[in-house]
Amino acid sequence: MLKSSRSLIGIAAGSVLLNAALAISLFRMRRRAELLAAAREKATADLQNLQQAFHQFAPQRVVEDVIKRGVSTSGETRQVTVLFADIVEFTALSESLSPETLVRILNGYFEAASTAVTHHGGHVAKFIGDGVMAIFGAPESNAWHAMDAVIAAVSLRDRIGSYNDELRKQNLPELDVRIGVHSGNVVAGVVGSRENLEYTVIGDVVNTAARIESLTRKHGVGILISADVRPALDGRFKLRQLPPEYVKGKAEPVVSFAVEAFSEAQSDPPSF
C-alpha cells in the first residue's frame, strides 16, 4: 500500500516536473517566436523604408525590378530638363570661413535649392561640392518639365535672396548663385557596379546644362537657359537673347537666353 502510494507520488511528481519542463519549454519557444516575429517586423519595416527611399530616386518599375530580380536593365530614352546651380566664387568664400560656418551656410543653400526644385516637380540628383544638379521629367515623366525647371530656377534665386537677408543679419557673407537650364533626350536607368548602383540620367544634355551654367559668368547673368528650353516659355517670362558662345565639347556656338523676370500673371497676350 505504502509502496503504491510512493509510486503514485513519484508519478505525480514526475508529471508535475514534466509539465513544468514542458511549460518552460513552451514559454521559451513562444518567447523565441515573439523575438523572431519582432525581428521580422523590424526587417520588413527597414526594407519598406529602404524601398520608399529608393523610390524617391528611381521610377517604381525600376524599384520593382531590383526587388524581384536584384538588377534592373530597363534603361530608356526620356525627355528631361537639367538644372545646374552653383555659388559664385565659392573657393574664395570657403577659404575665408571656419569649417563649421561654411557647412552651416552651405546647408542653408542646399535646403533652399532642394525646396525650390521639389516644389516645382523636380528631383535633386546630386550635390557636387557647392553645385546642385536637378532633373525635371525623371524619374516621373512631366509634360511641363522645361517650364517647371525655369520656374524652379527663378524660385531658387528668390529663396537665395531671402537667405541672404538672414546671412546679412548674422554678419555672414551673402551668396551669389548662378543657374543654367537645358532640355533634351537622355538615357535614364540604373547604372554602376553591383555594390554601388544609382538611378541616373546620361547624355549630352547633362554636360551642356553644366556648360550653360558656366556661361552665366561670361554673360554676367543669374539664370541662363538654352534655345531648347525657350519654346516651353510664354510671355510671363522676360527673356533676353545673348550672343552665341562656343563652349567646351560643342562644335557649334551655344545660343542662350537670360531669364530676367517671371510673373504669374499673363503680361503679353499671345497672337493666335
Positions in the binding site for other proteins (CB under 8 A): 44-45, 47-49, 51-52, 55, 59-61, 63-64, 67-68, 76, 140-144, 147, 232-234, 236, 266, 269-270, 272
Taking phi over 0 as left and psi of -120 to 50 as alpha, with beta for the rest, 219 belongs to alpha
Q: Is 215 exposed, middle or buried (0-12, 13-18, 19+ CB in 10 A)?
A: buried
CB of 199 to other proteins, least distance (A): 14
CB of 54 to other proteins, least distance (A): 10
CB of 115 to other proteins, least distance (A): 12
Residue (84 or 237) nearer to other proteins, CB: 237
Residue (64 or 174) nearer to other proteins, CB: 64
Residue (51 or 164) nearer to other proteins, CB: 51
Residue (118 or 214) nearer to other proteins, CB: 118
Other Cβ atoms closer than 10 A to 230: 17
Give which of 37, 137, 155 is closest to 77, Cα–Cα: 137
CB of 51 to other proteins, least distance (A): 5
Q: Is the dihedral of CA 149, 152, 156, 157 positive or negative?
A: positive
How far apart (Å, rounded) are the C-alpha atoms in residues 59 and 199?
A: 9
Helix, strand, or coil (residue 272): coil
